[in-house]
Amino acid sequence: MTPFESVSALKEQMSKSIIGQEKLIDTIVLVLLADGNMLLEGLPGLAKTRAINALAKNLDCGLSRIQFTPDLLPSDITGTEIYLPNEAEKFMFQQGPIFSNLILADEINRAPAKVQSALLEAMEERQVTVSGKTYKMEELFMVMATQNPIEQEGTYPLPEAQMDRFLVHTIIGYPDDDAELEIMRLNKREAAPHTAKTTIKTIPQQAIFDSRKEISQIKVSEDMEKYMVSLISASRYPEKYDAELAKLIDFGASPRGTIALDRCSRVHAWMQGRDFVTPEDIHGVIKDVLRHRIAVSYKGRAENITADQIIDKLIEVVAVVA
């Protein structure tokens, strides 16, 4: 199979166990192909954990699940050195759960900042440093962190520095009635004692690496590059575009946002079967890319203005470079 066919097969297999969340499947695969990390926000029971499990089940890779709790320690994530009294080498590094291909950081905002920060080096530099020694992560590596938007007690909001390390911030909602009916039926089929186990043909990791090579060849015209930069600039200096918009933004996206927009746009174009980026590709990913990189002002929050509404306004006021 070609890399595109392999990725299409991966999405098709995932969709068999994730009902009513097609956008979520597309976004998870997009982040994987873009070699980034993902922050997923949604109410309980919306298949956040099931989604990453479905990816690991259909891709030839490892999965580690870390349940974040207030008493978690950084060493519980990265690993620690253990003492070996009868060995010449007295200390040996015992790897933590971060050393895998796919990392599910479940309810990441339930752990304090020092534990959340233990992920930063792995997410950005793809390495972990313990006792002065550096240990490299797997070549295929992605963190998918989840958080519940409605619970505040016993949670620690993620600092802006860590939020910026996530390539995308995706919000998922309830499925429609038809999808919910199919979810109920799927659950009953899976729970039935006579259900036959089917052998799943997993997609090799090499298919992801080959896809990334093709994505690196996606053409981005100078006009599209300027359009992306203009959108980011408008989030920083909104007063140049719209006086009312300026009152709704405290600060805009960092250069990391520009890089993320470019990477995700190229992946989106490739997944649509194109070898060049269009404005539709940029618009298709911009909310997930900028949602966590734009700080809504006090006035905006008082008026119940969301980051998504601000991004819609940015698209409206910034002209597409022709």
CATH number for the domain spanning 261: value is: 1.10.8.80
Instruction: Verify that 169 and 98 share a domain, yes or no.
Output: yes
Check pLDDT > 90 for residue 205: yes
User: What span, in angstroms and rounded, lies between the C-alpha atoms of 195 and 188?
Assistant: 10
Instruction: Verify that 287 and 177 share a domain, yes or no.
Output: no
Mean pLDDT for 56-65 is 92
Check pLDDT > 60 for residue 195: no
Instruction: Verify that 240 and 153 share a domain, yes or no.
Output: no
Residue 77 half-sphere exposure, CB side, CA atoms within 13 Å? 28
Instruction: Verify that 15 and 146 share a domain, yes or no.
Output: yes
Tallying the residues shown for the chain, one arrives at 322
Mean pLDDT for 209-234 is 95
Residue (of 150, 156, 141, 187) closest to 171 by Cα position: 150
Instruction: Verify that 165 and 32 share a domain, yes or no.
Output: yes
Identify the residue whose tokens are 């499947």: 25
Instruction: Verify that 249 and 174 share a domain, yes or no.
Output: no
Q: Evaluate whether residue 61 is within a structural domain.
A: yes
Domain span at residue 253 reads 218-317
- What DSSP designation does 109 have? G
Q: Evaluate whether residue 213 is within a structural domain.
A: no
| Domain boundary pick from 159, 183, 207 | 183
| Angle between helices 3-15 and 22-33 in degrees, nearest 10 | 140
Instruction: Verify that 154 and 234 share a domain, yes or no.
Output: no
Mean pLDDT for 222-227 is 95
Check pLDDT > 70 for residue 88: no
Instruction: Verify that 262 and 130 share a domain, yes or no.
Output: no
Q: Evaluate whether residue 198 is within a structural domain.
A: no
Instruction: Verify that 32 and 152 share a domain, yes or no.
Output: yes
Per the prediction, the chain carries an average pLDDT of: 89
Instruction: Verify that 169 and 307 share a domain, yes or no.
Output: no
Each residue of 263-322: pLDDT tens digit? Answer: 999 999 999 999 999 999 999 999 999 999 999 999 999 999 999 999 999 999 998 876
| Domain boundary pick from 183, 204, 227 | 183
User: What span, in angstroms and rounded, lies between the C-alpha atoms of 282 and 223?
Assistant: 12
Instruction: Mean pLDDT check: name the lowest of 70-79, 211-220, 298-307.
Output: 70-79
For the domain that residue 109 is a member of, what is the CATH number? Answer: 3.40.50.300
Check pLDDT > 80 for residue 234: yes
Instruction: Verify that 23 and 157 share a domain, yes or no.
Output: yes
CB count in 10 Å sphere of residue 189: 9
State the total domains in the chain: 2
**Tell me, what's the pLDDT at 43?**
82
pTM: 0.90
Three-class SS state of 133: strand
Mean pLDDT for 6-17 is 91
Confidence class of residue 92 from pLDDT cuts 50, 70 and 90?
confident
Residue (of 170, 321, 299, 172) closest to 244 by Cα position: 299
